[in-house]
């Protein structure tokens, strides 16, 4: 079965029309968001970071006090151990060991607590970002929004990157 000349002409014209820059200039249905940059740039993330930094500072101060107390006890032990009875020496060593264990426990618990607080704050912000991106995608007709997380996207045309728009929409939502 042979195609008619008019059908071939229409097919050729359609192919040329679709290959022209005007046809390719249509708004993309794919968008890329640099999530790390959004998390570093939005006002909520900056406030959360400041809040967590305050908690970290207080924790560090408490840790410094505990370390100073333990060091003072160790110095006392070092300077007096030669004059101590075996029983007093053993008691002081147990006290030092207990202090060291308490210090390590304090450090681990606070690291865990800080990590949980950071994850909680980040989770809240990510939920808000996801909602904003969803609204933007629906309004602009994006059918797919990808996260550009370093090596996940090998190449994306710069016009697909909507990170700055997401940041502006996030910070202006209040």
Question: What are 128-163's pLDDT values in tens digits?
Answer: 999 999 999 999 999 999 998 777 788 888 999 999
Give the CA dihedral 47, 163, 139, 142, nearest 10 degrees.
-140
> CA 99 → CA 24, 74, 81, 130, 156, distances in Å?
69, 10, 17, 46, 55
Q: What is the CATH topology of the domain spanning 26-172?
A: Protein Binding, DinI Protein; Chain A (3.30.910)
Q: What is the per-residue pLDDT for 26?
A: 57
- Measure CA of the first residue to CA of the last residue in the chain; give whole Å: 65
Quick one: angle between helices 163-172 and 86-140, nearest 10? Answer: 100
Q: What is the per-residue pLDDT for 64?
A: 96
| pTM to 2 decimal places | 0.69
For tokens 């994306």, what's the residue? 156
User: Closest Cα to residue 72, out of 90, 50, 52, 96?
Assistant: 96
Q: What is the per-residue pLDDT for 41?
A: 93
Q: Which parts of the chain sit beneath pLDDT 70?
A: 1-28, 174
For tokens 């908690």, what's the residue? 55
Q: What is the per-residue pLDDT for 142?
A: 92
**Does residue 103 contact residue 62 with C-beta atoms inside 8 Å?**
no
In the chain, where the domains are located: 26-172
Chain centroid to CA 167: how far?
15
Beta bridge partners of 45: none
> CA 139 → CA 28, 101, 133, distances in Å?
13, 57, 10
Q: 141 is written with which tokens?
A: 């007709």
Q: What is the per-residue pLDDT for 168?
A: 95
**Does residue 84 contact residue 90 with C-beta atoms inside 8 Å?**
no
Q: What are 101-116's pLDDT values in tens digits?
A: 999 999 999 999 999 9
């Amino acid at each position: 079965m042979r195609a008619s000349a008019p059908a071939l002409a229409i097919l050729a014209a359609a192919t040329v029309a679709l290959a022209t820059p005007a046809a390719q200039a249509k708004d993309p249905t794919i968008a890329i968001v640099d999530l790390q940059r959004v998390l570093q740039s939005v006002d909520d993330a900056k406030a959360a970071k400041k809040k967590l930094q305050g908690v970290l500072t207080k924790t560090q101060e408490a840790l410094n006090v505990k370390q100073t107390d333990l060091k003072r006890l160790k110095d006392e032990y070092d300077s007096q151990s030669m004059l101590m009875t075996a029983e007093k020496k053993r008691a002081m060593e147990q006290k030092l060991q207990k202090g060291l264990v308490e210090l390590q426990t304090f450090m681990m618990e606070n690291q865990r607590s800080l990590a949980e607080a950071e994850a909680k704050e980040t989770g809240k912000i990510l939920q808000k970002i996801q909602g904003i991106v969803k609204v933007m995608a629906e309004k602009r007709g994006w059918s797919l929004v990808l996260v550009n997380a370093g090596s996940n996207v090998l190449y994306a045309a710069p016009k697909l990157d909507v990170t700055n728009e997401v940041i502006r929409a996030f910070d202006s939502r209040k």
